[in-house]
Amino acid sequence: MEKLSDELIARLVSSALAARGKAYAPYSRFAVGAAVLAASGEIYCGANVENASYPAGICAERNAIFHAVAMGERRLYAIALCGGKEGEKLGACFPCGICRQVMREFCDPGQFLVVVATSPTDWTVHTLARLLPDSFGPESLG
In the chain, alpha helices (H): 6-20, 60-70, 97-105, 128-131
CA R_g for the chain: 14
**What CA–CA distance (Å, rounded) separates 63 from 36?**
10
Identify whether the C-beta of residue 37 lies closer than 8 Å to the C-beta of residue 12: yes
Q: Exactly one of 7, 61, 73, 88 is catalytic; name it.
A: 61
88 part of the active site: no
Catalytic residues: 61
